[in-house]
Amino acid sequence: MGSRIVAAVVALLAAVPAAAEPREVVWLRDNTAREGAVIRVTDDAVTLRDDESEITLPLADLRPDVAHRLLRARLGETDAAGWYRLGEFALKNGLHAEALQAYNRVIDLDPKQKATLEPKIDEVRTADAEAIFKRAQALAAEDKFEDALRTYSVLLNKYPAGAHAAQAKDELKALAERIQRANDDRQKRLAAAQQAAQDQKAQA
């Protein structure tokens, strides 16, 4: 009797379709995408299963934020070595906030690493300040004055000391002069257009 019940349960379980593996969309650096279930992530690659086939993509081909998310998902919360590698990946790929988070996590797990990681943290902050500074410069070059001012302000609030802060102050001064000149030119053009309209009206 018991064996028949067991056999019946096994048969019922066999008849239940297996749950579909969760699928993810993985974006590459060239803005194309691959979709499939993530079945394996290593330090160098991710393997996706699409229906019955598998494809392995080098992490170097993925968008950095996507690769970081995949690496982060496989980490154990107490894996100090893994968090360090994640910080290195984030720093190398310009993910400065993520790098700081990873290095600080290593210090939380192993306080003895603080002295070793402090130069790394300083390196991340310097790289982050440089990236913000260059972004502000690019916005100013495109005459996106409000965005440039906002970005310089972010830099000064986040990193009030250091070489990039001093440069930002100089750039802000130059930008203020550019804005003033642009406003003066705009006022002159407006006055000229109004005068031309009045002259035309008078002639009519």
Tens of pLDDT along 102-136? 999 999 999 999 999 999 999 999 999 999 999 99
Residues 20-60: pLDDT tens digits? 568 889 999 999 999 999 999 999 999 999 877 999 999 99
The count of other CB atoms within 10 Å of the CB of residue 121 is: 17
- In this predicted model, which residue has the larger pLDDT, 182 or 78? 78
State whether the Cα torsion 81-87-90-95 is positive or negative. positive
Instruction: Put residue 140 in one of left, alpha, beta given phi > 0 → left and psi -120 to 50 → alpha.
Output: alpha
SS3 state of residue 38: strand
The pTM (predicted TM-score) of the whole model is 0.71
d(CA 182, CA 118): 44
SS3 state of residue 142: coil
